């Protein structure tokens, strides 16, 4: 069976600076694959290589068996691509934007209206079809961008940080739409800096400085975590983090929002020591418990080994 996406030792350099460093991976048809990493990790460059926008410095890639360099035109017919700054036209209405992209993709006039109506309903944009794109909220603009990328019924959908800067409710709506697409057998390749979003993917690749650090299901990646996580809750998490880092030399201490995570090989001993440290320094302890690692914990743990 041909992989939906395949990369072999794929690399890209710009003036001697390595942006993508020998990536090798496969994405199966009908899955959501998440490429996850911080800004500057190489996510956008990887996506541009896979969508035939850029040519690699070395290595190869295929989309449903079509080579990204030798068969670039064939690939463009198979894919939908939504970049970080998707090219919506603010002075056109929602309907006019979708119609414009339908023309670009050569979607036949016959049956086009029904397809557009379905996409509008699918993305909850029907009530706004006559609204100018420039007057839409951030979340609605993302949904419109998605509708435009889907107008020609692509087999593979590439989404480059689609929910960046979008409010939590719109992010949740966007992912609900992606799951609906999965049921229609669309393969989705999504890049994100949000590790909580990576938990929603079938498989995840962790990328940093152009290198693929780990690859697998979210569950598989969590098994890479060495040690146990002790979560510390206190009204002064920053102060507690500094204190625990100073005192718990053999453990890894990190601040995760309003919680402090301590990665340790001796959880019972660490919990007792953490309690004693906070009590001694007069910091209030609101809670202390063992928790399952998140992908953020795993990513930090994997980075620490490099």
Query: Three-class SS string for the chain?
Result: CCCCEEEEEEEEEECCEEEEEEEEEEECCCCEEEEECCCCCCHHHHHHHHCCCCCCCEEEEEECCEECCCCHHHHHHHEEEECCCCCCCCCCEHHHHHHHHHHHCCCCCCCHHHHHHHHHHHCCCHHHCCCEHHHCCHHHHHHHHHHHHHCCCCCEEEEECCCCCCCHHHHHHHHHHHHHHHHCCCEEEEEECCHHHHCCCCEEEEEECCEEEEEECHHHHHCCCCCEEEEEECCCHHHHHHHHHHHCCCCEEEEECCEEEEEECCHHHHHHHHHHHHHHCCCCCCEEEEECCCHHHHHHHHHHHC
> According to the model, what pLDDT value does residue 65 have?
93
Domain with residue 289: its CATH number is 3.30.70.100
Task: Give tens-digit pLDDT for 182-233.
Answer: 888 899 999 998 888 889 999 999 999 999 999 999 999 988 888 899 999 9
Give residue 264's Cα distance to chain centre. Answer: 28
3-state SS of 116-172?
Answer: HHHHHHHCCCHHHCCCEHHHCCHHHHHHHHHHHHHCCCCCEEEEECCCCCCCHHHHH
A 10 A CB-CB count for 155 gives: 16
> According to the model, what pLDDT value does residue 306 have?
64
280 plus 174 within the same structural domain:
no
59 plus 189 within the same structural domain:
yes
260 plus 146 within the same structural domain:
no
Give CA–CA dist 234/237, Å, rounded.
Answer: 6
Domain termination site, one of 167, 191, 222: 222
Contact 207, 10 (CB under 8 A): no
301 plus 164 within the same structural domain:
no
215 plus 239 within the same structural domain:
no
214 plus 280 within the same structural domain:
no
204 plus 121 within the same structural domain:
yes
> According to the model, what pLDDT value does residue 127 have?
93
Residue ranges, the chain, pLDDT below 50: none
Instruction: Write out the residue range of the structural domain in which residue 242 sits.
Output: 228-305
268 plus 134 within the same structural domain:
no
Domain termination site, one of 207, 222, 237: 222
Domain with residue 81: its CATH number is 3.40.50.300
> According to the model, what pLDDT value does residue 172 have?
86
196 plus 95 within the same structural domain:
yes
Task: Specify the number of domains making up the chain.
Answer: 2
249 plus 100 within the same structural domain:
no
Domain termination site, one of 222, 257, 273: 222
Contact 93, 133 (CB under 8 A): yes
93 plus 236 within the same structural domain:
no
237 plus 276 within the same structural domain:
yes
């Amino acid at each position: 069976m041909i992989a939906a996406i395949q990369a072999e030792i794929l690399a890209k350099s710009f003036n001697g600076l390595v942006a993508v460093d020998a990536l090798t991976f496969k994405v199966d048809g009908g899955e959501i694959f998440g490429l996850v990493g911080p800004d500057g990790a190489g996510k956008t460059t990887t996506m541009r290589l896979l969508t035939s926008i850029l040519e690699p410095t070395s290595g190869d890639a295929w989309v449903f068996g079509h080579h990204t360099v030798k068969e670039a035109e064939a690939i463009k017919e198979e894919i939908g691509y939504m970049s970080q700054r998707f090219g919506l036209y603010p002075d056109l209405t929602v309907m006019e934007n979708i119609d414009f992209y339908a023309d670009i993709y050569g979607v036949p006039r016959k049956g086009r209206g029904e397809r557009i109506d379905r996409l509008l309903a699918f993305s909850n944009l029907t009530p706004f079809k006559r609204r100018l794109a420039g007057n839409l909220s951030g979340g609605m603009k993302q949904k419109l961008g998605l509708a435009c990328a889907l107008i020609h019924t692509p087999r593979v959908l590439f989404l480059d940080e689609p929910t960046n800067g979008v409010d939590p409710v719109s992010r949740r709506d966007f992912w609900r739409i992606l799951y609906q697409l999965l049921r229609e057998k669309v393969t989705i390749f999504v890049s994100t800096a949000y590790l909580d979003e990576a938990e929603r993917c079938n498989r995840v690749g962790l990328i940093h400085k152009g290198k693929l650090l780990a690859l697998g299901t979210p569950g598989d990646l969590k098994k890479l975590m060495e040690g146990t996580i002790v979560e510390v809750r206190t009204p002064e998490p920053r102060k507690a983090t500094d204190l625990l880092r100073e005192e718990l030399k053999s453990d890894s201490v990190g601040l995760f929002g309003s919680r402090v995570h301590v990665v340790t090989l001796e959880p019972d001993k660490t919990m007792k020591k953490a309690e004693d440290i906070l009590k001694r320094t007069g910091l209030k302890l609101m809670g202390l418990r063992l928790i399952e690692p998140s992908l953020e914990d795993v990513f930090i743990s994997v980075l620490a080994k490099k």
